[in-house]
Amino acid sequence: MDKEHPLVFQVRSRQHSAAAAAVAAASGATVPGGGLRLVKGSSAAVTRIHGRIFPEGLYYIAVGLGTPPQTYFLDIDTGSHVSWVTCDAPCVHCAQGPNPWYDPSHASPVDCRSDLCRAAQTGFIRGCSSGSEDQPPGSEAAKAESLEGGGVGLEKGEVGRGRGGGGGESSGKGGEGEEGGSGKMVHAKPRHLQEAVRDMSAGDAGGAGGAAGGGDSNESDFKESDSNEDGINQCDYDIVYADGSSSQGVLVTDRLLFLHPSGTLKAAQFTFGCAYDQEGDLAISPARSDGVLGLGPSNLSLPAQLSRAGVGRNVFGHCLDSAASGGGYFFIGDALLPTAVTWTPRASTSDTRFYHASLLHVSYGSKKLPTSPSKVERDNTGSSPSAYNEDGVESGGAIFDSGSSFTYLTATAFEPLLLMASADAAAAGLQRDTTATVLPHCWKAGKGAPEIRSVADVASHFATLTFAFKSHSIFSSSADLTVAPSTYLFSPGRGTVCLGILNGEESLALGSASRTIIGDIAMRGYLVVYDNENTRIGWTSADCSSKS
């Protein structure tokens, strides 16, 4: 790894013209993953973001990953802490994404006793899976054991992937010991990855190596690390998202590709999840991405891993274009930060998976929305105030989550917001569109009124939303994130406009009424920065176009 020159992913942006010029100078070469490049003299990494609120429902980046390298599209998600790609280990329930499933045969399994494994298992069952003696993550016994031990528990889940306002159906898992047509074993719980690869090799050779530990004794290409001959020390993870979908797999380390200024390809080691079993929306084909880039404040995140390797600082950000065409850019490092950033301190909580900030109040125009009654809670005796809910998250606060398409308010704040927005819509001659299925609160032109062609036709009739956070500066009473109607409204099609702010209590399968979630729709048109070096979150209005 060349530590002198940090990673820079290709993008052209008016916001960071110097970096764009440097990348453009090296644009003649190609690299798997859509142009990951090192730019001499820069300490930042930048890549183009693809996607939009609708119809894609996600924002993703392309990376070159694996041995040999393949291109994968990863959903950028600051609301979860594990990165993963759909993995043929073999795959049990996996959606067919835009690219072939990841082949783990040259990856290195991560030991279950390592710090990285402990980070991956944060909030879930902890420890090593050693066959029938230990309960696998995701089993009913494991869930009960986690709850009894005072852990967060699987059903608490991750905040990310709140796409579309609700979870899809959960797909059933195949029974352990079933065999596929090629000799691949269908497994209902975490199995040993080396064993699985041996099964794959036997199956590809026409063998019937479907039984656990059976089949040909072909050696896999794994580079073992602190693993015994049975491979039982692998790190299993099971992550559940707020929409009810889930991903189960094994933590591995493989190569992340980038281009050196000399034109040669270089590789950094990256630890991520080999995800062989998905449920809910994640199991629906065709998928728009191949996995998730978990960017929560954990030592598992890509910025944290690169920072430990001496590549830049543990700072990253995203800029989501507010244009209907979507897109934007993602960066790692602090060299490209503008000076005019509004900062709020990251709130101190017992759960380190989320970017949580202290939310003072939310306003619709000049009217403050009611504060959630759970902002200051009382314990079971009804006497002692507590600043935290049962998840260890500050009650009444907010989580910045790029894995959620929409923004979610507490029921206490959402209900008056909906009343005021509906009144403004009626005053503008709009009526409720009961035929819209994308979101619960949509409007169309009233009788005799011209058809709505775009959000711009009606945005002026609604008020600006303001999220007032605790300020990082002593010279300011609050750090305000203002969201214009043209940003929080969106049109799923000609003739209809919808409110991109939802009731979290109704919409999130695993949500909490005391949480506000700042999703993509409220962050469009802003450069949002996650500064893990100084434990703060910032934003500034920006041109997020990647087309200049």
Residue 522, pLDDT > 70, answer yes
Residue 483, pLDDT > 50, answer yes
Residue 31, pLDDT > 90, answer no
pLDDT attached to residue 262: 65
pLDDT attached to residue 463: 98
264-289: string of b/e by CB count within 10 Å (b at 16+)?
Answer: ebbebebbbbbbbbbbbbbbeeebbb
DSSP 8-state secondary structure symbol assigned to residue 93: B
What does the domain layout of the chain look like in residue ranges? 338-541
Instruction: Report the range out of 140-144, 286-290, 417-421 with the highest average pLDDT.
Output: 417-421
pLDDT attached to residue 223: 32
Rounded CA-CA distance 375/470 in Å is: 14
Fold of the domain spanning 338-541 = Cathepsin D, subunit A; domain 1 (2.40.70)
Give whole-number Cα distances, 178 to 33, 115, 263, 401, in Å.
35, 34, 47, 38
| 470 neighbors 344 (Cβ within 8 angstroms) | yes
Residues 249-279 have pLDDT tens digits of 999 999 988 766 566 777 889 999 999 999 9
Which residues face 75 on adjacent strands?
A: 60, 292
Give the angle 156-161-167 at the CA atoms, nearest 5°.
75
Tokens of 274: 């080999």
Q: Span 474-497, mean pLDDT?
A: 92
Q: In 302-417, at which residue ranges do the beta strands (DSSP E only) sit?
A: 315-320, 328-332, 342-345, 356-357, 359-364, 367-368, 377-378, 385-386, 398-400, 407-409
The mean of the pLDDT values for the chain is: 73
Q: Which residue has the higher pLDDT, 290 or 311?
A: 290
The owner of tokens 């270089």 is 266
Give the range among 176-185, 189-198, 285-294, 455-464 with minimum mean pLDDT: 176-185
